[in-house]
Each structure stands twice: as C-alpha cells, then as structure tokens.
Amino acid sequence: MTTDELKADCYSAGERDWMLATQRWREQALAPLLRSLVRVQVTPNGLTLLSLLAGLAFCPLWLVSRPAAMVALLVHVLLDGLDGPLARFTNVASRRGSFTDSMADQIVVTGVTITLMATGVVGIVPGGAYVFLYTLVVAFAMIRNALAVPYSWLVRPRFIMYGWLLVETYAWPGSLEWLLWTFNVLLAWKVLTGFRKIRSKI
C-alpha cells in the first residue's frame, strides 16, 4: 500500500497502521485463494462489483427471506475483504481502486439502511441520520487524508450493524434502532472534529 494510494482511502491513522502491520501476514494467508482468483481471471474491480451486487441483493431479499438477505450481506463483506488484497497481489492497487471500493461500500450501507427504514425495522430519523452522518464521515476522512491530516481513529459501525441484524431478527427486536442512535452520536462527533480540522487546513 503506497503513500499515493492511501491518499484516496477513508481510513484513520490507527486503522492504516494496523493494516500495514498485518499486510504481509494477510497476503501470505490469502495467497492460495488470490492465486486461484488470478487463474480464473477475476480482477479486483470485478470483486468490487460482485461485492456491490451481493450487498444490494440484500434489499429485495429482505422482503422475502431474511436469512437469504443476511447471507447476501455476508457474501458482500467477504468479497469486500478480498478486492484490496487481490489488487496488491497483482500490483494494480491504485487510488482509483480505493475510491471505487469506498463508494461501493457506501452504496451498500445506504441501500441496507433504506431497506430497514422502509420495512419498519428502524425509524426514519435514526436511519436517515445514520446514512447522512456515515456518508459525511467517509467523505471527510478522504479529504483529511488528501490534506495529510488523517483522523486518529474512526468508528466503523457498518460491520457491527450488519452482524446485529441477527440479534435484531432472532433475539432482541427493536435493539438495532438503539444501536444506530449510539453510532449516530459517535459519527456526529467525528463529523464535527473532521469539519474543524479540514477548515483549519484550507
């Protein structure tokens, strides 16, 4: 992961340090799978597209089969974790790829949340605030990285939210909305600090 590549990502400094520290281990662990993907001519952009489609498949599937919808979301997460390693494995990692991956992730976050609002799982206010604040934090993280003043830390609620759908569906209905409110407070704080830092640098 080059410095130039990192200018387009939406990671905090702490996340980046962890990724760089574990990059070699992850590449070794995934090497057999990555070689297989190369053999069948799967590209990083192709994986990003498949990940996006799997994530968006959640939306119609949630209306007819919640277990199938959650499987689609799991496939999205797994594929999302492979496109970056495949890009580095094949030496095609770039700012464009990082930006595309981040936008695909955000589209899925938005689609999933809108689906949950439309089906009454979460309210319009917490769900709408979540999409708005999450999108701003991602945008601000990219801008701060481009200005060389990355966030020191960021909350990544999408994976927790996706996993919590199991709790919401099978154990504790109504709990996801409270979880979203908690995330909204943290995201709002990161929006405020992000805005102040960007404003001070431009």
- Is-contact 106 123, C-beta < 8 A? no
Which residues have C-beta within 8 Å of that of residue 52, sequence separation ≥ 6? 76, 104, 107, 108
Q: What amino acid is encoded at 64 in this protein? A: V
Which residues have C-beta within 8 Å of that of residue 37, sequence separation ≥ 6? 47, 82, 86
CB-side neighbour CA atoms (13 Å) of 96 = 3
Q: Active site includes 105?
A: yes
Question: Of residues 9, 83, 101, 105, which has the active-site annotation?
Answer: 105
Residues classed as catalytic: 105
